[in-house]
Structure formats: structure tokens, C-alpha cells
Amino acid sequence: MEQIRKHESKVRGYSRSFPTTFTTAHGAIINDENHRQYIDFLAGAGALNYGHNNPFFKMKLMDYIDKNGITHGLDLATEAKEEFIRVFNQYILEPRELKYKMQFTGPTGTNAVEAAIKLAQISTGRNNIITFTNAYHGHSKGALRLTANEHYRKGLENELNQFTSFLPYYGYVEGGFDSADYLDQVLSDKGSGIDKPAAIILETIQGEGGVNVAPNEWLKKLRRITEKHGILMIVDDIQVGCGRTGKFFSFEEAGIYPDMVTLSKSISGYGLPMAILLMKPELDKWEPGQHTGTFRGNNLAFVTAAEAIIKYWKDDKFQDEIKEKSAKLFRILNIIKDENSDIITDVRGKGLIIAMEFIDAETASKVTREAFENGLIIETCGSEGNIIKFLPPLNIHHNYLNEGIKIFEQAIESIKEVELV
């Protein structure tokens, strides 16, 4: 930690919240240099849905490295890429009757978002992109234009206010205001002053923005409105895709078919960097190499990504397990909320992304700090920082899930005891 404290830029974030030096990890457990063990309810901010160093993928990866499989190959055709595409089509797209082409962008979520915006603009010839309050789409300037949080936009506002309009996300305005109806109205009205956008981009559950859940009916309505007005719908499934909500894609239950989908974080399965833009074939208006980059084909990630799909998504077993764990976590968190209604105001989420809202940021951060002291890694989110987000690996063993919840509950008790003293 000494070298990091001394020499790493002030921009570092998570190492401040969890101030220790981590050494090894396995499944839902992460260890530090003092031989302390932590249960990981942060899971790489959604990049470790199948846990740390998943043994099934590790074996495949080690075999691949051992046989001198291609590691870096720009976007050359490789055996690993060919196999990933085959598996993704066979087990993910075809059973869901989704006909997408795949673009492998630079390996961060943000780069997939950049590609989506560019392609939406190129393929429609329009500029404006509609995004939502509390949205989070990444930090390159294109993606940051779509991201709402003031903390991330600070000092860049003049540049960021081009080509985007923020609409209230579902539930943002109290009293029944529906921004889907509003969108329909302004796009139908020549006097609205809102230019017809190329696309709307949204998360079906806003992960960083506070775990705000859009109901299926609202998503369906938005889809109908975007189709009516000839506007593309981009779903950013970077955080809540790959099983986080219980299904592979977060929009499956709504029965919608977005024009484009961004995936990253857990798509590689192993925490290796990888990102994909899925697009309906008719939108594939790219010229060869028009959105290029050196690291678009992370072949090690293709190997583990294919294995993750084969291992977890061939049938419904894994989805049933997520459902069961989700029901349990919701049940217990609601009990904790009821017992602590003086400091906890809400529990919400879907699948294994669940938020507990506290009365203020100070209380929430006291709880996460106390939990860390006692062996649980869990983070806050939302623009006010008063929301604690439960994001355990999806394949977490029940014992660790129980133990994590116990540490969390004890953390609440301890901070309340301290306040009473």
C-alpha cells in the first residue's frame, strides 16, 4: 500500500474505501496481506458474477496458455474468437430469438458505449442522444455526456452538454409523471424544441445511479415509443447483464428487443477485460476498421467467456439458483430494514443487485466501514452516497451469503450502539 499511497494518482477510488493490500482470491472470498479474509459483495462492481478465479474457467485458460494459444491478435480471426462467437450464438442469442451482429470494441464498457453512440449517429444521420437522470455509462467524454452524476462531470460541463438531453428516469419525478409519455409528446410536437434523437440509451436497472429499477411495462412502453418515432433503443447491460438480474439479459423479462446492447464487466467470466456491442444487422453501417483499437480481441477473455456460457447458461439451473438466492436476500434485507426503520428507508432491486437505502451518506458509509473491519466488502452508490449495493457473485455459496449478511447486520448494530453511548 505504501507505494500506492505515495505514487498513484489522487484519482484512485476503491483502495480508499477498502484500505488494505489484497493478495489472493477464490470464489466469493478475497484475502489480504495480513491473512485476513473478506467476503466480497462488491464482486468487481459486477465484473465477477462467477466469483474470483473460477476454477472451471481457470483450467481452460491455463490449458490455452500452455498450448501457446494466441493472446494478442488485434482483431485477427482466431480460434478462440471463432469459438466464443459460436457459443454465444448457440446458447445466448438463438434461444432468445435475438439476431445481433457482434462488435468487439476496446475492452472497457465505456468503449462499447462510445461505439454505440457513434453507430447510432452514423446510421441515423442524427446527433442528439437521449439519456436519463442518474444514468451511468462511463468516463470517456462521449460516454460521460450520457452520465448524470455531477461528481464525474465537474470541470467538463461546457463540453459535456453537447448532443444529449436528460429525461427523468422511471420514478424520478414523484406524482405519476411518466417520462415515456413525455418523450412521445415532445417527439410528436413540432413546437417542443427537442430535436429528434438518434437514440435513447438506458440501463434497465441503474447500477451506479442507486439501483433504480425500471418496470417491464415502462420498458415496453419506451420500446413502442422509440419504434413509433424511428429512434434507436440502446440498452446498456454492462453492469446488470450476464445474469445479474436473474436472466442473461436484463431486458428479457420485459420481452423487448433493443436495437443495440452493450456488454462488458462479467462477459469474460473471469474478470478479464472484454466488451461487446450487439447490434441489429441492418445497423451495421461501419466501414472496415472505422472503430478500431489495439485491444479489441482479448483472446484470453474469449476463452473464459465461452466457458462461462457453456458452464452456466446451457440450461435454466443457474437462473433458478439466482432466483432462490435473490428471494432469500430480499427476505432478510427487508427484515433488517423493518427492524431498523429509523435509519433504513428502502430495499429495492432485482436478482442479485439489491440496494438498501439509508437516511444519509454518513450512516451508510459508517456501516460499510464497520462491515469492512469485520470482513465484508460492500460499497455505496447513488449520487448522494446513501445507498448500499449488494452485488455478491451469482454463484456464491449459501454459507458465504449467510455469513456476509450476518456481518452486515452486526455492522448496523455496532454503529447504533456507538451512537447510543
Shortest distance (Å) from residue 260 CB to ligand PLP: 13
Short-list 51, 103, 72, 83, CA closest to 303: 83
Q: How far is the CB of 111 from ligand PLP (least distance, A)?
A: 7
**Stretch of 61-69, 236-244, 249-257, 386-394 contacting ligand PLP, by CB under 6 A:** 236-244
Residue pair 381/210 in contact (Cβ under 8 Å)? The answer is yes
Q: Which of 210, 212, 219 is nearest to 256 (CA)?
A: 219
370 binds ligand PLP (CB under 6 A): no
249 binds ligand PLP (CB under 6 A): no
Q: Is 214 in the site for ligand PLP (CB under 6 A)?
A: no
Residues within window 44-63 making contact with ligand PLP, judged by CB under 6 A: 45
Q: Residue of minimal CB distance from ligand PLP?
A: 109
Q: Does 351 bind ligand PLP (CB under 6 A)?
A: no
Cα–Cα distance, 271 to 305 (Å, whole number): 10
Query: Shortest distance, CB of residue 371 to ligand PLP, whole angstroms?
Result: 21
The CA distance from 232 to 206, in Å, is 19
**138 in contact with ligand PLP (CB under 6 A):** yes
Nearest to 20 by CA among 34, 6, 9, 41: 34
Least separation in angstroms between CB 62 and ligand PLP = 25
Q: Is 42 among the residues that bind ligand PLP (CB under 6 A)?
A: no
383 binds ligand PLP (CB under 6 A): no
How many residues at the interface with ligand PLP, by CB under 6 A? 15
Range in contact with ligand PLP (rule: CB under 6 A) among 32-40, 105-113, 292-300, 368-376: 105-113
**How far apart are the C-alpha atoms of 204 and 206, rounded to whole Å?**
6
Angle between helices 79-87 and 299-312 (to 10 degrees): 30
Rule CB under 6 A: is residue 136 a binding residue for ligand PLP?
yes
In the block, residue with C-alpha cell 490455452: 64
With contact defined as beta carbons under 8 Å apart, do 241 and 394 qualify? no
Backbone angles phi, psi at 133, to 5 degrees: -55, 140
Q: Which three cell numbers stand for residue 360?
A: 444519509
Q: Which residues contribute to the site for ligand PLP (CB under 6 A)? A: 45, 108-110, 113, 136-138, 203, 207-208, 236, 238-239, 264
